[in-house]
Amino acid sequence: MDLDIQCEEMDPPRWAELLSTMKSCKTIRLDDCNLSSSNCKDLSSIINTNPSLTELKLNNNELGDAGIEYLCKGLLTPSCSLQKLWLQNCNLTSASCETLRSVLSAQPSLTELHVGDNKLGTAGVKVLCQGLMNPNCKLQKLQLEYCELTADIVEALNAALQTKPTLKELSLSNNTLGDTAVKQLCRGLVEASCNLELLHLENCGITSDSCREISAVLSNKSSLIDLSVGDNKIGDSGLALLCQGLLHPNCKIQKLWLWDCDLTSASCKDLSRVLSTKETLLEVSLIDNNLRDSGMEMLCQALKDPKANLQELWIRECGLTTACCKAVSSVLSVNKHLKVLHIGENKLGDAGVELLCEGLLHPNCNIHSLWLGNCDLTAACCATLATVMVAKQCLTELDLSYNTLEDEGVRKLCEAVRNPNCKLQQLILYDIFWSSEVDDELRALEESKPEVKIIS
């Protein structure tokens, strides 16, 4: 039995009602429920008396250090079997880290700890690392995003990595680490015995100077399947270094996020080699890089290679126009693997989308999710999009937000949704203006076809 509640104010009668339910729950989620330290006393008792409880999510509640003190009393009891603990944005400070360290040291069942968006600081996380180094600790996932960490944390992290072969996921995004610390971290990862699968270093002050060491991690750690270095100014020269590691036979990368990395079309030659030769690669994000049509055409050529197995491509806000749509369409007509295409916030225009639809309608195309928000579209392309919605039963999500479709365009989309052959589950239409009559039609459509969510 699971309890999953979000964004609900907890008055005393409601809380008392839920406490009786929690006694037999395997998973408890109470995100954004205005909980405080006093609720943690009760939760500690639940942890102590419910041995079936394995997952507890308390994100976005003002628990504070006092609340964690109460929680950990339950976590330290022998009957506790908790495996996953989420405490993101709970107003914790370094004072909570000593308590959490004792849990890490004493509770081998705990495999996931998510404490991002808390002001733990470098001093606090150094204390957590002491817990990680305890032989009893079997942690597999550690999330430390937005924890106000600095370069000084890396020595403690590396020491923990050396002694923790169980650790599989490490997220340090949105901390001001800088190149020197990231290079030191990567050298530690290459030497560490852990089989790291996920490494997130978004917005960590990385430049091209760190990319040789990150590349070495890619070529030495075949376990690494998920790398995110988005929102770092690595540039084309840094990407070229990363691609050396990505192309190494040892590299088994599956997910690669490179959003807002100051890349240009010059990077697309190296990326194309990766896309066409790295058969493990399934998901790539290049959002907010100035690739332009020339870069996109290079990527499309690679995606037509039989060895390209990419399933998700995120290329929003990449300076694309109608000119690249024929190349993208040719990928859609050839590549059977691609399921998610996010190409919004590019000036494709109606003519560009008409070209995309030619590829979408091809029997080889298996697109499930298509995002075309803010692409300078009008009602003129909606008839063709409606044809795609009816003909492609694999298409379950379509985003057309921030386009001037008006009543005429929205009505054509509604007509397609009404068709029994349309299997769309989500139609996303943010910030599109239509009349009250069309609004009534949309509401009636949702009632007649409840399996479809129209999000606006």
- Torsion, CA 363, CA 365, CA 366, CA 368, rounded to 10: -120
Does residue 11 sit in helix, strand or coil?
Answer: coil
DSSP 239-273: HHHHHHHHTSTT----EEE-TTS--BGGGHHHHHH
pLDDT at 411: 96
Determine the pLDDT at residue 192: 86
Instruction: Please state, in angstroms and rounded to a whole number, the distance separating the CA atoms of residues 80 and 72.
Output: 10
Spans of the chain, pLDDT less than 50: none
Q: Three-class SS of residue 290?
A: strand
45, 17 Cβ separation under 8 angstroms? no
Domains of the chain: 1-121+133-144 (3.80.10.10), 149-249 (3.80.10.10), 263-366 (3.80.10.10), 377-455 (3.80.10.10)
Which residue(s) pair with 29 in the sheet?
4, 57
What was the pLDDT predicted at 231?
98
Strands 226-228 and 112-114: unpaired
Do residues 140 and 112 touch, judged by C-beta distance below 8 A?
yes
How many CB atoms are closer than 10 A to CB 327? 19
Question: What are the backbone dihedrals phi and psi of residue 426, each rounded to the nearest 5 degrees, phi first?
Answer: -135, 125
Q: Output the pLDDT for position 1.
A: 78
Predicted local confidence at residue 11, as pLDDT? 87
pLDDT at residue number 188: 94
* Sign of the alpha-carbon dihedral angle for 147, 283, 346, 294: positive
Residue 171 and residue 198 in contact, taking contact as beta carbons nearer than 8 Å? yes
Instruction: State how far the Cα of 37 lies from the Cα of 67, in Å rounded to an integer.
Output: 4
The Cα 232–Cα 106 span in angstroms is 37
Residue 264 pairs in a beta bridge with 290
Q: Collapse the DSSP code of 432 into the 3-class scheme (helix H, G, I; strand E, B; otherwise coil) and give the result.
A: coil
CA gap 195, 167 in Å, rounded: 7
pTM above 0.75, yes or no: yes
